[in-house]
Structure 1
Amino acid sequence: MTKKNGFLKFFIKTKKNPSAIYLRFIGKSFDLKKTTTLLIDPEKWSTSKRQPINSTTELRSLGQNLLKLKTFIIDAYNTSINEDIDTIWLGNVIKTYFNGTSNTDVKSKYVVDAIAELKASANTRKNNKGEYGLSKSRITSYNNLLNLVVRYQENNKLKVKEVDPTLAMNFIKWMQEQDYSKSYYSKIISDLKMVCREAGRKGAETSPKLLDIKASKPKPESILYLNRNEIKEIKKTKLNREALKNARRWLLLGCELGQRGGDLLNINSDKIKTLKSGNRVIELVQQKTNKSVTIPILHKAEKILKKGIPNKISMQTFNLHIKDICKKAKIDSPTSGRKFLKKGGKRVSGTYPKWQLASSHICRRSYASNYYGEYPTPLLMSVTGHSTESQFLNYIGKSGHDQADQFFELYSKRKKNE
């Protein structure tokens, strides 16, 4: 069969996170554009290479999935006979790639079908707060699951009824071979179980052993944060470059506001409000959970903001500068964690100088860890956005024994005052 001329490339339209990944398919008599249904953080997309930046295992998985989709579409085009090559044809090919069938009457028979149905109904589904619309992080989780299932199943489409403890264990072994972390593959298995349970509620056949799948939630390898002394060292470290000085202001501000990197770097003057009491706060909606939070601007944060909000900076640049700043400040205590190695493109567990593991997330955890015990936990949770006290305590690595010690400390102080 004569090979036809067809050119395909991927692109994103906006800088909104998450952004849909689109494809453009160009031939002699057509120029088609269609969404792939996959999503990505624009910060993680290479405009020049038209593909995800291969900085994490998840992004490499997404890149491989896009490459397979591209090959699938071009093969379908080359083998098409007397078909109208239009957006309807392209949409059907994309559906066939992800679902393994173009028969829309077969609902949730395959795992990829079940995931696609959940994504399609994202805006009309109730979330944990009883409101409609799933969070960006939840939709991203579905995309990560979809990418992995497509890679794992290859040409043998995985059925919902096949998902049982044995399959889950084989899936885990496969993810271990791909060097995914325990916390990550535990989350994937939990999501897979949830997707299949939802498909079962809609009438799909499920395994009688589906509920026997156990998805553990391991704690992080280490609780990485900057303590008060380390923050002082960062403050007084001499920096020659203006870019590093600006990043330091963001870093110090982040340790006083308790937000994730994306929310921190999106703070602007419009989000700063003055209460009737005269106190100033920052009001924002957290990107990951869609929660509205009100952040008191305490003394240390006010000092930083007196010079105005730091200059705009991208997440990627911020993460690089944080490492440079912490290195110059000699934040180098041996710390266990997972570090991304450029050679081989994998995250490897080990013990490294602390600065090598530092990233934007250190801001939120530093706030939670340093202020824990100084202010009531519910007040701190209202700033960080944690839903339960157990989540918050697990986040900063505190156990029941830590809480008991804190209780005795408060009791001793109270007894002295009696």
Structure 2
Amino acid sequence: MATVKYRIRGKSKQNTSIYIYLSTGRGNFVEVASGFSVNPKDWSTTNNKPKQNSEINRQTFSDLNKLEKFVYDEVNTSNAKGELIDAHWLRSKISECFNRVKKTDQTLLTNHIQFIIDNAQTRKIKGSNKIGLSDRRIAGYKSFLKLTEEYEKVIKKKIHFLDINKRFVDKFTNWMLNEKNYAVNYAGKILDNLKTVCKDAQAIDIDCHPYTDKIEGFRERDEDRYIVTLSFSELEEIRKADIEKEALINARKWLLLGCEIGQRASDLLKLTPDDVRYTKGSYYIDILQQKTGKNVTVGIIAPHVIDIIENGFPYAISTQKLNKHIKDLCDDAGLTEMIKGKKYDKKTRRKKLDYYRKCDLITSHSFRRSFATNYYKKIPTAILINITGHSKESLFLEYINRREDKDDNANLFMKFYEEIHQKKEPEMKVFKNGTNQ
């Protein structure tokens, strides 16, 4: 049976620390500073607590009683879970009891996330010789910190790196999917973030539970993904639609441009005429991708996009407004067939799978996917992924929800082979006649 006691060290005339002593039986005991102090003359050797002879001592007496009860309860809980009860455990329980957390405590998950955010501008970017995290990545860490703090309130304890074992990860995943109703992909990305932060902590010699190396994110199954794209014929319907509102005309320009250059909305909507250059009779758009940091050059050949560049580049607009306008635009263009997809539900504040009009499912993210889908197998994949910014073909195929088809690849090779050899000039051959002359 566990025993909790308090004691002080020394008999100085000044305040001294009060230590909490925890015995769990069979010679197992730990002792750490409680964070409280008392003048030795005010210490009762009868009950091993401060005398209640002043307001401060009465408060300390009450706090120690609160801590004693809290520790007894936590010992039972931890024993049931098979957790190790040591000095680290006891210190963490004291902090939990009084919500007392030091920002300098490097063993806490939230503190290290904040450390990454605070030092974002000087952090080296993995796989490059550049420093400074992107605004998008910093925002991701801030969201992860907010979510972690919310979960700590749910479990009523601060999360230490040594707490992050398989049981913790399983419970955290269950909370995200079943309590928060997060999308599978989003929950999987959160686990990726968790593993990244743990690895970062290990790199500066912060002790982490061995299981952190085994944390794995996940994605929804291919059959559960619903990707909405615009085909070439649908883009032509949008291009020819009779539109009068200036806002929708501007949105149409962004849509047609976006479906031809294959960039994320965050990069697309930053473009200005200054990003377009005319060289040797052709138009090129130079883009520094915000997410990947890659420099991309896209050649423009579609006549209707060249017309947009030459006769009225679209004016700046927010992603939110663009998403609203393109739904109205696609509605006016007649893209109203009912298709299966996921749409944001204001009541649940989550995406709901159902049948909706296609125009209601089109977003600015459809532009890049439409580009990748429409040109897949028509243009070599290596060229496409250099434009979209995907690091490898497998990610590109996952993005458009396609599996690698080896027969298709072989057929494509033969097609290119024939085109190459059809363009070769016929060779002149000399045949010897029967007389050998």
State the 1:308 CA deviation.
2.1
SS at match of 2:373: helix
Distance across 1 between alignment mates of 2:316 and 2:196: 39
State the 1:334 CA deviation.
3.7
Structural mapping, 1:190-209, within 5 Å: 190-209=192-211
Distance across 1 between alignment mates of 2:334 and 2:211: 52
Distance across 1 between alignment mates of 2:396 and 2:360: 25
Is the CA contact (8 Å cut-off) linking 2:273 and 2:309 kept in structure 1? no
Is the CA contact (8 Å cut-off) linking 1:333 and 1:353 kept in structure 2? yes
State the 1:325 CA deviation.
1.3
2:111 counterpart residue number? 113
The one of 281, 291, 295 aligned to 1:288: 291
State the 1:102 CA deviation.
5.8
Distance across 1 between alignment mates of 2:412 and 2:204: 53
Which letter does structure 1 place at the counterpart of 2:172?
Answer: F
Structural mapping, 1:66-77, within 5 Å: none
TM-score by length of 1: 0.70
2:180 counterpart residue number? 178
Is the CA contact (8 Å cut-off) linking 1:164 and 1:212 kept in structure 2? no
Could you say if the C-alpha distance between residues 215 and 345 of structure 1 is closer, same or farther in structure 2, counting changes exceeding 3 Å?
closer
SS at match of 2:252: helix
Which letter does structure 1 place at the counterpart of 2:285?
Answer: I
State the 1:187 CA deviation.
0.4
State the 1:104 CA deviation.
4.7
Deviation sequence 1:83-132 (CA, Å, 0-9, x none):
xxxxxxxxxxxxx9xxx76635422x111011112222222222233222
SS at match of 1:336: strand
2:157 counterpart residue number? 156
Is the CA contact (8 Å cut-off) linking 1:222 and 1:335 kept in structure 2? no
Structure of higher RCO (CA pairs closer than 8 Å, 6+ residues apart): 1
The one of 238, 243, 250 aligned to 2:242: 238
Could you say if the C-alpha distance between residues 221 and 103 of structure 1 is closer, same or farther in structure 2, counting changes exceeding 3 Å?
same
Distance across 1 between alignment mates of 2:104 and 2:231: 57
Is the CA contact (8 Å cut-off) linking 2:226 and 2:342 kept in structure 1? no
State the 1:415 CA deviation.
6.3
Is the CA contact (8 Å cut-off) linking 2:327 and 2:363 kept in structure 1? yes
Deviation sequence 1:135-183 (CA, Å, 0-9, x none):
3332222112111101111141111111122211211111122121000
Could you say if the C-alpha distance between residues 413 and 253 of structure 1 is closer, same or farther in structure 2, counting changes exceeding 3 Å?
closer
Question: Are residue 126 (structure 1) and residue 124 (structure 2) matched?
Answer: yes
SS at match of 2:210: coil
Residues paired across the two proteins, number: 317
- CA RMSD of the aligned region, Å? 2.3
Structural mapping, 1:233-382, within 5 Å: 233-275=237-279, 277-300=280-303, 301-382=305-386
SS at match of 1:398: coil
Which letter does structure 2 place at the counterpart of 1:147?
Answer: K
Is the CA contact (8 Å cut-off) linking 1:331 and 1:353 kept in structure 2? yes
Which letter does structure 2 place at the counterpart of 1:183?
Answer: N
State the 1:363 CA deviation.
0.9
1:89 counterpart residue number? none
| Unmatched 5+ stretches in structure 1 | 1-95
Is the CA contact (8 Å cut-off) linking 1:136 and 1:289 kept in structure 2? no
Structural mapping, 1:47-86, within 5 Å: none
Rg bigger for which structure? 2
Which letter does structure 1 place at the counterpart of 2:294?
Answer: K
TM-score by length of 2: 0.67
Is the CA contact (8 Å cut-off) linking 2:195 and 2:212 kept in structure 1? yes
SS at match of 1:209: helix
